[in-house]
Amino acid sequence: MSLVKLSKDTKVDEIVSIIQRDGGVIIENFLSEEITKDIHQALSQQLELIPDGEDEYFAGTKTRRMSRLFARLPQMPLVAMNPTFLETAKAILQKPLSTWSGENRIELCPDIQVGVTQAIQIWPGQKAQPLHRDDTVWMWQHPVYGREARVQIMFAVTDFTEENGATRVIPASHLWDDERVPKEDETIAAEMKAGDALIWIGSTYHGGGANVSHEPRIGLTMSYDLGFLRQEENHYLSLSTETIKGFPDELKGMLGWNMSTTFVGFVEHEGKMMNPIDMLNVPDFKTTGIT
Ligand SMILES: O=C(O)CCC(=O)C(=O)O
Ligand SMILES: [Fe+2]
């Protein structure tokens, strides 16, 4: 079995139905060759300054991980706002809930937010990462009851091959319960050309592959998560208000500067429960992020 490859112009409904069946899908030519080259150049330079991971088990001692990508990589909005990714994430995550408010039946629809961003450079000699589900960060249980928590992308900055450590995925493992053990021989390598992207969900077992080639592999990952969960990466401390102000309003909100439909994340200011996005217009309000 292999993962289905689709063109970036495929209708969102079709992308979603394949993800719901297989747990993931590959989108070819997700970004243009030119943009991919620029991202490659920027990330390879910045990754030179990043040390290998310290943890042999999961992060990898021959793997460099660099986050805070919205502060570091000017092309991040092109990844995040790419309609194929954004619309797919919305279609999967924004499942409404009906509940009571007094005797009124109301329908609530969750917002989505940016969770983690990370450039992952796997060097020759790195062993395969343990197979895992990324929704374990919130101890999500399986089979998923009600709703998926995450829709994630792995953008191939370099070619992804079986030899250089392409992400390994167990197709349809998002449907498994929490007892079944994920095994290496059930995985397939998400082989991609630079510029392609794997989109998968938080409940699908996957992991970085072993790099037995002579070149490093670079992937750029970013997740969209349910807006009422805690963000895996702390964007409030990572990105300055100046950086945030440079983004389109929808992206500002999705980086955490939005209050969820269920009021998660409000800020009290002068007795009002404010949406944090409105704080950006309050004179003298500033956060500096890591510099
Ligand atoms: O690098 C990869 O291919 C996957 C990495 C991953 O799944 C993780 O770090 O959670
Ligand atoms: Fe992962």
Strand 63-66's sheet: what is its strand order?
5-7, 24-28, 197-201, 150-156, 217-226, 112-122, 63-66
Report the relative pairing of strands 112-122 and 168-169 from DSSP bridges: unpaired
The answer to pTM > 0.85 is yes
| Closest Cα to atom 7 of ligand 1 | 207
Does the beta carbon of 88 lie inside 6 Å of ligand 1? no
Report the relative pairing of strands 104-108 and 24-28 from DSSP bridges: unpaired
Ligand 2: distance of its center to the CA of 133 in Å? 6
Q: Which residue has the tokens 């100046």?
A: 242
Ligand 2: distance of its center to the CA of 129 in Å? 9
Q: pLDDT, tens digit, for every residue of 48-67?
A: 999 999 988 899 999 999 99
Does the beta carbon of 207 lie inside 6 Å of ligand 1? yes
Q: pLDDT, tens digit, for every residue of 86-143?
A: 999 999 999 999 999 999 999 999 999 999 999 999 999 999 999 999 999 999 999 9
Q: In this structure, which ligand is nearest to the CA of 192?
A: 1
Pocket test for ligand 1, best of 154, 191, 211 (most atoms within 8 A of CB): 154
